[in-house]
Chains A and B, each alone.
Chain A
Amino acid sequence: MNLLDKLPDSVQKAELYYQKSADTSIDFKGWKIKSTETTVNEGYSLRAIEGGRLGFSGSTKTGGIEDLIESTLQSCRIGEKIDLQFPAHQGEQHIDVWDESIDQLSLEKIASYGNKLQSLLLELKEDCELEISLGKERLENTLENTSGLKVSELKSVFSISAEISRVKEGDFLFLSDRFFSTRLPEDMDSKIDKLAKNILEQYQYADKIESFTPGKKVPVIFTPKAIPALLLPLLVGINGKNIYSKSSPISDKLGEQIFDPKLSIIDDGTIDHKPKSSAYDDEGFLKRPLNIINNGVLENFLFDLYTAKKAGKNPTGSASRDIFSQPFPSSSNIVVNPGKESYGDMLGGISAGILVEELLGVGQGNILSGAFSNPIGLAYKIENGKIAGRLKNVILSGNIYECMKTITAMSSEQEWWGSIYAPYLQLDTLNITSS
């Protein structure tokens, strides 16, 4: 590469990021294999400081290096005066996110996993549509800067997702499940079995439709799949961008008890085999487990180099970027610590309540304020400690900074959903509106 050497002497500091991804994916639709796709994308992004001003540009144009430098210098000339200290090498750490056997998977092999999953769900063919996506991905990136840092990383990701939809007059039902990992499971068959079983089980629960009497506050259990609706406002609230600008409602609340003491949340990009994990963040800082909420107390925000500088703090290894964007703070894997009760006991103790699997419109509206108001996508009515049937046309609303001050219970079991590892969580004070 040696692109940094091509920069004019007027450039005081610079940082070059190169990214290449190669994906292979197979899609099933309408109970048959539909398409296969291979993708190779690559590009460079360059950040530099010239005359004390910060500039940036990105390009996917092959052989467009001179243009990239020129665009970056133009960007510097209108750029903000700021002194960023690009890090020197921060030390070694190994996070296991590469598996040769994913890279070597053939199209035929991937297709066979899809066929197997489809055959396990075949009993739904009469009534439902099925979409399956399977894929492998090879991600490669290299970061170098004028402080002498040069780090490269290679990551492999294997993923399966399945979605069942059923259309009846006046009723749509969607059920989905997915699996992804940076390591190919040795027991792939049992993973696929589990995925299919989970969907079939949900389908049975969902078949009976229950109504809900409005105007009552009842206990609501969020499954790990539904937890993002509660976490997303917090993740926006701790993002360095909203901290240095003081637009976050918790920007001045470090060290304060903002949630129930039962709640502890950790941002952890060092967990092996997780697609959001890596040894270094996208600016070369080591990823570290970071306590966000410790027994209800707000302990940390997420900063990249820029937002840390603006806020007068240190970067937290939270920088993320792509070819066409400057780095920005972003969460890694989010771990919500477990509680003491079993999920079965939580469920069993509720005479009338709601179990939420999925909410609609998560992330929409004014979430920075902590407020949320989401119709249920998939939820069940709990009656006498058991799931009685599927609920429709119910909206849950509240503000996380109020409703999570008291958490009734959290389960001792945790489950992964995407990059979130969380227990079942029960709240008793949500506003519930129904049609």
Chain B
Amino acid sequence: MIDRIKQLLTGVEGFMEIRLQSSQTTEIAFKGRDLEKGTNLNDEGGFVRALLPGKGWGITTFNNFEQLPQMVKQAIDCSRTINPEDEIKLYPLDPIEKKISNPLRDDFRKYTLNEKKELIQEYNSTMLNSSPLIADTKAIYGDSIRYSWYGNTDGVFIEKERADLVMALMSVAKDDKTVQMSYEVITSRDDYGKFRGKNDLAKEVAEKALKLLKAESVSGGKYTVILDPHLAGVFMHEAFGHLSESDFLFENPKAIQMMKLGKRFGPDILNVVDDGSIQGHRGSIIFDDEGVPCGKTYLIKNGILSGRLHSRETAMKMGEKVTGNCRAEDYSCAPIVRMTNTYVENGESSFDEMLKDIDLGVYACDAYGGQTMLENFSFSAGHAFMIRNGKIAEMVRDVVLQGNLFETLHNIEMIGNDFTWLPGGTCGKGGQSAPVGMGSPHIRIKNVIIGGK
């Protein structure tokens, strides 16, 4: 495949990159007692991007590899239609040829569809049988192996193998007053064995949903809040991380001013990193989809804004170094600037130290999802507890954290010494989703607004 790409790139005018991809995916999903999905899927397609000298980006995407020569021509035609005022320049890359493999500890391809089905069926039954109040469940298993072949006219050729495994368990509990749900996710990049023996986890998921039925809604107001590592990781990714993505900044002088490197963003104890070069997490991509090697980028160091994430185009435009953060969901998408593994480094406080002087606060756990409109964010905790007189008290629900990002970062009071990698998740941006890694210790923040009654 790499040879075929080399051949197509030979003699091309200007810049061009070609990315071909083929993937096999297994998806199994139970909803309630029913098997909603249990199948293997095949996806194959290609992407060509051209940049003629002094012109704009021309892109084609397709499924049929036989159409490659026409698609190369069409991408060039698309590029030719654009006459930008300023020439688009790309950060220079050294030629390299590299093969990235994804060795497997317990190869999921050895197991039949039926064996995988029986594995999650057991967990699903555990959830369903735990109480008559469990009205619905979901048990989802997915694995995939994706081969991709990348080449560009700068002499970069990357062949990649990537494996992903994921399992999600969800329970919905319902009584005559309300409906509540809870979930857990496990992910791996190499080990089917990690999904075995998870009956206790299934039990916990169901029990958490049942407890939420009995929990009261939180009273809205301003609280000192401790975020558990899960919610803290998701918060840092969503509310802060996206602002470090240079595609939002590079043509926007006012936004650059706001995100000026060297500016104080939080207390000294706050360190936030993005690193796609570490092995084994969902955001571990080693090379990005422009063929740029990933590295460790400090976004916030000792509370000071100190780095941001780049594509070749944004790095060149802003006079900074590439970071290996230009990623595409798959062959059907142009790569965009986005995070890889984003995490908050360990602090020094123990969980007990964080708790002890809070008279009335909220311990917010798990993320149901979050949305930001730049400075404004909104996050739903999966579940939460009141903190009363320095102790964890009753469970509460419907906890939605809301606020202004900049104020909230400055309001961070303590960072825990209990860093954990999260299962990671799937991040959505510009209509594309990408697997990302996240990690954080507990974080304590004062004056957080919680919506509610």
Q: Which residues in chain A, 168-202, are within 8 Å of chain B measured between CB atoms?
A: 168-172, 174
State which of A26-34, A295-303, A421-429 sits at the interface with chain B: A26-34
Contacts of B60 in A (CB 8 A): 37-40
Shortest CB distance B443–A (Å): 19
Convert A55-99 into 0s and 1s, putting 1 for each residue whose CB lies closer than 8 angstroms to a CB of B: 111111110100110011011011110000000000000000000
Give the distance in Å from the alpha carbon of A361 to the alpha carbon of B65 in the complex: 39
Give the distance in Å from the alpha carbon of A181 to the alpha carbon of B63 in the complex: 27
Give the distance in Å from the alpha carbon of A292 to the alpha carbon of B380 in the complex: 29
A39 touches B373 (CB 8 A): no
Q: Answer whether residue B85 sits at the interface, using C-beta atoms and an 8 A cutoff.
A: yes
Give the distance in Å from the alpha carbon of A174 to the alpha carbon of B62 in the complex: 33
Q: Answer whether residue B11 sits at the interface, using C-beta atoms and an 8 A cutoff.
A: no
Selected from A33, A127, A326, A377, the residue in CB contact (under 8 A) with B82 is A33
Contacts of A168 in B (CB 8 A): 254
Selected from B34, B64, B85, B402, the residue in CB contact (under 8 A) with A32 is B85
Q: Answer whether residue B135 sits at the interface, using C-beta atoms and an 8 A cutoff.
A: yes
Q: Which residues in chain B, 28-87, are within 8 Å of chain A measured between CB atoms?
A: 31-32, 34-45, 56-67, 74, 78-79, 81-85
A75 touches B39 (CB 8 A): yes
Give the distance in Å from the alpha carbon of A58 to the alpha carbon of B23 in the complex: 12
Give the distance in Å from the alpha carbon of A431 to the alpha carbon of B178 in the complex: 18
A62, closest chain B residue (CB): B64
A435 touches B403 (CB 8 A): yes
The size bracket of the interface on B is 35 or more
Given contacts A32-B84, A40-B63, A361-B370, contact A249 B34 (CB under 8 A): no
Q: Answer whether residue A234 sits at the interface, using C-beta atoms and an 8 A cutoff.
A: no
Selected from A79, A249, A364, the residue in CB contact (under 8 A) with B378 is A364
A366 touches B332 (CB 8 A): no
Q: Answer whether residue A384 sits at the interface, using C-beta atoms and an 8 A cutoff.
A: no
Give the distance in Å from the alpha carbon of A170 to the alpha carbon of B259 in the complex: 11
Convert B289-330 into 0s and 1s, putting 1 for each residue whose CB lies closer than 8 angstroms to a CB of A: 000000000000000000000000000000000000000000
Shortest CB distance A42–B (Å): 6
Given contacts A60-B44, A74-B113, A129-B251, contact A35 B59 (CB under 8 A): yes
A174 touches B220 (CB 8 A): no
Most chain-A Cβ atoms within 10 A of its Cβ — which of B41, B42, B74, B83? B41
Contacts of A60 in B (CB 8 A): 42-45, 63
A43 touches B63 (CB 8 A): yes
Contacts of A29 in B (CB 8 A): 251
Give the distance in Å from the alpha carbon of A21 to the alpha carbon of B375 in the complex: 37
* Secondary structure of the B contact surface, majority rule: strand
Contacts of A397 in B (CB 8 A): 220, 400, 451-453
B334 touches A36 (CB 8 A): no
A174 touches B85 (CB 8 A): no
Given contacts A172-B374, A364-B380, A395-B402, contact A36 B38 (CB under 8 A): no
Contacts of B380 in A (CB 8 A): 361, 364-366, 373
B398 touches A366 (CB 8 A): yes
A241 touches B31 (CB 8 A): yes
Q: Answer whether residue A310 sits at the interface, using C-beta atoms and an 8 A cutoff.
A: yes
Given contacts A33-B82, A247-B179, A395-B400, contact A41 B42 (CB under 8 A): no
A20, closest chain B residue (CB): B63
Q: Answer whether residue B376 sits at the interface, using C-beta atoms and an 8 A cutoff.
A: yes
Shortest CB distance A56–B (Å): 5
Contacts of A75 in B (CB 8 A): 38-40, 113
Selected from A107, A366, A373, the residue in CB contact (under 8 A) with B451 is A373
Convert A99-126 into 0s and 1s, putting 1 for each residue whose CB lies closer than 8 angstroms to a CB of B: 0000000011001000000000000000
Q: Answer whether residue B418 sits at the interface, using C-beta atoms and an 8 A cutoff.
A: no
Q: Answer whether residue A332 sits at the interface, using C-beta atoms and an 8 A cutoff.
A: no
B57 touches A34 (CB 8 A): yes
Convert A358-400 into 0s and 1s, putting 1 for each residue whose CB lies closer than 8 angstroms to a CB of B: 0011101110110101110100000000000000110101000
Contacts of B373 in A (CB 8 A): 172, 174, 360, 377
Q: Answer whether residue B369 sits at the interface, using C-beta atoms and an 8 A cutoff.
A: yes
Selected from B43, B178, B258, the residue in CB contact (under 8 A) with A167 is B258
Contacts of A246 in B (CB 8 A): 135-136, 174
Give the distance in Å from the alpha carbon of A162 to the alpha carbon of B453 in the complex: 36
Give the distance in Å from the alpha carbon of A78 to the alpha carbon of B34 in the complex: 12
Contacts of B74 in A (CB 8 A): 38
Q: Answer whether residue B96 sits at the interface, using C-beta atoms and an 8 A cutoff.
A: no
Selected from B35, B174, B181, B400, the residue in CB contact (under 8 A) with A79 is B35
Contacts of A167 in B (CB 8 A): 252, 254-255, 257-258, 374
Q: Which residues in chain A, 202-243, are within 8 Å of chain B measured between CB atoms?
A: 241-242
Contacts of A30 in B (CB 8 A): 251-252
Shortest CB distance A221–B (Å): 20
B121, closest chain A residue (CB): A78
Shortest CB distance B391–A (Å): 26
Q: Answer whether residue B205 sits at the interface, using C-beta atoms and an 8 A cutoff.
A: no
Q: Answer whether residue B101 sits at the interface, using C-beta atoms and an 8 A cutoff.
A: no
Given contacts A38-B60, A71-B42, A167-B258, contact A361 B81 (CB under 8 A): no
Contacts of B237 in A (CB 8 A): none
Contacts of B174 in A (CB 8 A): 246-247, 249
Q: Answer whether residue B368 sits at the interface, using C-beta atoms and an 8 A cutoff.
A: yes
Give the distance in Å from the alpha carbon of A36 to the alpha carbon of B252 in the complex: 21
A41 touches B136 (CB 8 A): no
A363, closest chain B residue (CB): B369
Given contacts A361-B370, A364-B368, A366-B181, contact A36 B82 (CB under 8 A): yes
Give the distance in Å from the alpha carbon of A172 to the alpha carbon of B404 in the complex: 11
Give the distance in Å from the alpha carbon of A393 to the alpha carbon of B405 in the complex: 12
Q: Answer whether residue A314 sits at the interface, using C-beta atoms and an 8 A cutoff.
A: no
Selected from B36, B369, B452, the residue in CB contact (under 8 A) with A364 is B369
A168, closest chain B residue (CB): B254
Q: Answer whether residue B114 sits at the interface, using C-beta atoms and an 8 A cutoff.
A: yes
A81, closest chain B residue (CB): B35
B81 touches A433 (CB 8 A): no
Q: Answer whether residue B340 sits at the interface, using C-beta atoms and an 8 A cutoff.
A: no
Q: Answer whether residue B203 sits at the interface, using C-beta atoms and an 8 A cutoff.
A: no
A247 touches B178 (CB 8 A): no
Q: Which residues in chain A, 332-378, are within 8 Å of chain B measured between CB atoms?
A: 360-362, 364-366, 368-369, 371, 373-375, 377
Give the distance in Å from the alpha carbon of A218 to the alpha carbon of B36 in the complex: 45
Q: Answer whether residue A416 sits at the interface, using C-beta atoms and an 8 A cutoff.
A: no
Q: A34-B82, A61-B63, A361-B400 are in contact. List 4 more A-B contacts (CB 8 A).
A: A58-B42, A71-B41, A174-B374, A360-B372
19 A-B contact pairs sorted by A residue (CB < 8 Å): A32-B84, A35-B56, A35-B57, A35-B78, A37-B59, A55-B39, A56-B39, A59-B41, A78-B114, A172-B374, A245-B135, A246-B174, A249-B178, A361-B369, A373-B451, A375-B376, A393-B402, A393-B404, A431-B451
Using a CB–CB cutoff of 8 Å, the interface residues on chain A facing chain B are 29-30, 32-43, 55-62, 64, 67-68, 71-72, 74-75, 77-80, 107-108, 111, 127, 129, 165-172, 174, 241-242, 245-247, 249, 310, 324-326, 360-362, 364-366, 368-369, 371, 373-375, 377, 392-393, 395, 397, 431, 433, 435
7 residue pairs, one from A and one from B, having the closest CB atoms: A30-B251, A35-B57, A247-B136, A395-B451, A361-B371, A37-B59, A172-B374
Using a CB–CB cutoff of 8 Å, the interface residues on chain B facing chain A are 22, 31-32, 34-45, 56-67, 74, 78-79, 81-85, 113-114, 117, 135-136, 172, 174, 178-181, 220-222, 251-252, 254-255, 257-258, 332, 334, 368-378, 380, 398, 400, 402-404, 406, 449, 451-453
